[in-house]
Chain A
Amino acid sequence: MKKFITRLSALVIFVVFSITMFNGLGGCGRKSSLSDSLQATLPEKVDFNFHIKPILSDRCFACHGPDNNKREANLRLDTEEGAFAALDSLGKEHAIVAGDLDESVAYQRIITSDPELMMPPPKSNLKLSGHEVALIAKWIEQGAQWKEHWSFIPPANPEMPKVQHATWVRNPVDQFVLSQLEQKGLQPNKEADKATLLRRVSFDLTGLPPSVNDVNAFLNDQSPNAYSTAVDRLLASPHYGERMAAEWMDVARYADSHGYQDDGMRNSWPWREWVIKAYNQNLPYNQFMTWQLAGDMLPNPTKEQLLATSFNRNHPQTQEGGVVDEEYRIEYVADRANTFGKAFIGLTVECARCHDHKYDPISQKDYYSLFAFFNNNLESGIIPYNGEASPSVILPSPEAESKLKFIREKLTPIEQQLNPENYRQSFESWLANAEKTPEKFAKTDAGLIGWFHFEEPYSKEMVKPKDKNKKKPKDKNKKVAPRLKADEFKNAAGTKLAARTSGDPDRKPVVVPGKTGNGRKFIGDAGMDFTQELNFERNQPFSISIWVNPLKAGEEGTLFAKSNGEFEGYRGYRCLLNKDGSLSVSLSYVWPANCIDLQTMEKLTPNQWYHIALTYDGSSKANGVKIFLNGKEAARKVYSDNLHKSLLHGEKKTNWSKMPFMLGKDFRGSIKDVVMDELMAYDRQLSSIEVKEINGQQGAILQALKTPKTQRTPQQTDELFEYYRLNYDKTYAENLAQATKLRGEENQLITDQPEVMVMKERKEVRPTFILNRGAYDAPTTKVVPNTPAKLVTFDKKLPKNRLGLAKWLTDPKNPLASRVVVNRFWAMCFGNGLVNTVDDFGNQGALPTNPALLDYLAVHFMKSGWDAKAFMKMLVTSATYRQSSIPTKKALELDPDNSLLSRGPSFRLSAEMIRDNALAASGLLSKKVGGPSVYPYQPAGIWEALATRNKTKYEQGHGEDLYRRSMYTVWKRSSPPPSMMNFDAPDRYLCTVRRQKTATPLQSLVLMNDPQYVEAARVLAERMMKEGGATPEARIDFAYKALTSRPPRPEELKLMKQLYSEELADFRKQPNQAAELLSTGEYKRNPKLNASEVAACTIIASTVMNFDEFVMKR
Chain B
Amino acid sequence: MQDPIQEITHQLSRRDFLKGSVLGLGAAALGSMLNTGRATAMEGGRDLLPHFVPKAKRIIYLFQSGAPSQLELFDYKPKLKQMFGQELPPSVRGNQRLTGMSSGQRSFPLAFGKFEFKQHGKSRAWVSDLMPHHTQIVDEVTFIKSMYTEAINHDPAVTFVQTGSQQAGRPSFGSWVSYGLGSDNENLPTFCVLLSKGRGGDQPLYAKLWGMDSCLLSTRG
Q: Could you list which residues of chain A lie within 8 angstroms of chain B, going by C-beta atoms?
A: 1-2, 7, 125, 127, 260-261, 263, 318, 320-325, 382, 507, 523-525, 557, 566, 666, 668-670, 672, 777, 941, 944-949, 952-953, 973-976, 981, 984, 986-987, 989-990, 992, 996, 998, 1000-1002
Contact = CB atoms under 8 A, between A and B. Distances in A.
Given A263-B206, A946-B205, A322 B200 contact: no
Contacts of B169: 989-990
| Chain A CB within 10 A, most for which of B1, B46, B152, B153 | B153
Which 5 interchain pairs have the tightest Cβ spacing?
Answer: A524-B106, A669-B104, A322-B99, A974-B206, A322-B101
Contacts of B79: none
B152 A324 contact: yes
B100 A975 contact: no
Interface stretch (B29-37, B52-60, B130-138, B210-218): B210-218
Contacts of A987: 207-208, 211, 213
17 contacts: A1-B1, A125-B44, A261-B158, A322-B99, A323-B99, A323-B100, A324-B97, A324-B152, A557-B104, A666-B104, A945-B195, A948-B202, A975-B207, A981-B207, A989-B213, A1000-B217, A1001-B187
B115 to A, nearest CB: 12
Contacts of B168: 989
B90 interface: no
A952 B198 CA distance: 13
Nearest to B196: A945
Interface of B: 1, 44-46, 97-107, 152-155, 158, 168-169, 187-189, 195, 197, 200-208, 211, 213, 217-218
B217 A525 contact: no
A453 B54 CA distance: 76
Task: Tell me whether chain B's interface is mostly helix, strand or loop, or mixed.
Answer: loop
A801 B213 CA distance: 32
Contacts of A324: 97-100, 103, 152
Contacts of B201: 947-949, 952
Given A261-B204, A324-B152, A973-B206, A998 B218 contact: yes
A125 B46 contact: yes
| Chain A CB within 10 A, most for which of B98, B204, B206 | B206
A944 B201 CA distance: 7
Nearest to A316: B168
Contacts of B102: 322
A261 B45 contact: no
Given A261-B206, A523-B106, A987-B207, 18 more contacts: A125-B46, A261-B158, A261-B204, A322-B152, A323-B153, A507-B107, A525-B105, A668-B104, A945-B203, A946-B207, A947-B203, A981-B207, A981-B211, A984-B217, A987-B213, A989-B208, A998-B217, A1002-B189
B216 to A, nearest CB: 9
A989 B97 CA distance: 26
B203 A948 contact: yes
B88 to A, nearest CB: 14
B180 to A, nearest CB: 20
A974 B209 CA distance: 9
B19 to A, nearest CB: 20
B153 to A, nearest CB: 5
A508 B102 CA distance: 18
A867 B161 CA distance: 48
Contact of B207 (A777, A944, A976): A976
Contact of B197 (A125, A325, A945): A945
A596 to B, nearest CB: 24
| Chain B CB within 10 A, most for which of A666, A672, A948 | A948
B188 A261 contact: no
Given A324-B99, A382-B100, A975 B195 contact: no
B200 A952 contact: yes
Given A669-B103, A1000-B217, A974 B152 contact: no
A989 B208 CA distance: 9
B107 A524 contact: yes
A56 to B, nearest CB: 18
A992 B208 CA distance: 14
Contacts of A325: 100
Contacts of B98: 324
